[in-house]
Amino acid sequence: MLQMDCPNCDGVIKSQFLADLSTIECDQCNSTIPVKDVFVSTKSFVMHREDFLNRTFRFQKLLREVEKELLLMTNNKEVSPKSLESLEQFYSSLQELLAGARNSYRIEIPGDLHVEIMDGKRTCKGKLLNLSTAGASIELLEYDKPPRIKSEVDIVFPFSVFSEHLYTRARIVWTREQADNNSPHHTVIGATFIAIDENTQNCIWNYILDNAPAPRQGLPR
């Protein structure tokens, strides 16, 4: 969760949208204030977002190491359940901190919302896992081989909630093979939007506001 202090009262404003907004209304004094001095907060940590952004790479590296250690400890019957529980809590806190470092709020997509990915002359279908105005994570459903990292693709969002199909150019920033015995092909890709028009961006933002707990907010940055 993201939070900031209201300069007009002693209130603390908490919202997952603070990275996206230029202004926000304080629920305690009802004043509209500019968004600045944002902190990332978890159950265990509170850290200024800018300080954390300057050290994101180190925390990502630490998260990978904790993942490896969790796997080793989970498969070791001699490990104390309390030790395992504590490491899982630490891992969860790291994930929360890294989520707070995102430049745009990212909503987890419930149910099955499908997109089309056009990679040159190839087209494949995907299931949208999460979405922001800056990018998306997509599980590939039908494909010969996943798009290459750094390659550019076209993504079509045929959402029934919109009056028209949304279209944007995107760059693949990562691919990840997922272990799933029920699916011979289970690959997830991360895409960053690189050529998104104002209408598509506004439609995505409105979809996020309609499907996530929203504060009283000004326009996205």
Helix (H), strand (E) at residue 211: helix 198-211
For residue 118, with 0-12 CB atoms within 10 Å meaning exposed, 13-18 middle and 19 or more buried, which class applies?
A: middle
Q: How far is CA 79 from CA 66, 69, 74, 92, 212, in A?
A: 15, 11, 8, 19, 39
Cα(101)–Cα(63) distance, integer angstroms: 14
Cα(56)–Cα(8) distance, integer angstroms: 31
Query: Around 147, how many Cα atoms within 13 Å sit in the side-chain half-sphere?
Result: 31
Number of C-beta neighbours around residue 19 at 10 A: 22
> Which pLDDT score, from 0 to 100, does residue 159 have?
67
Q: Tell me the pLDDT of the chain averaged across its residues.
A: 82
User: What digits encode the pLDDT tens for the residues 194-210?
Assistant: 988 888 887 887 777 67
User: What digits encode the pLDDT tens for the residues 1-26?
Assistant: 888 999 998 889 988 778 777 888 89
Q: What angle do CA 148, 138, 152 make, to 5 degrees?
A: 35
User: What digits encode the pLDDT tens for the residues 163-195?
Assistant: 567 889 999 998 887 655 555 557 899 999 998
Cα(162)–Cα(100) distance, integer angstroms: 28
The pTM of the whole model exceeds 0.85: no
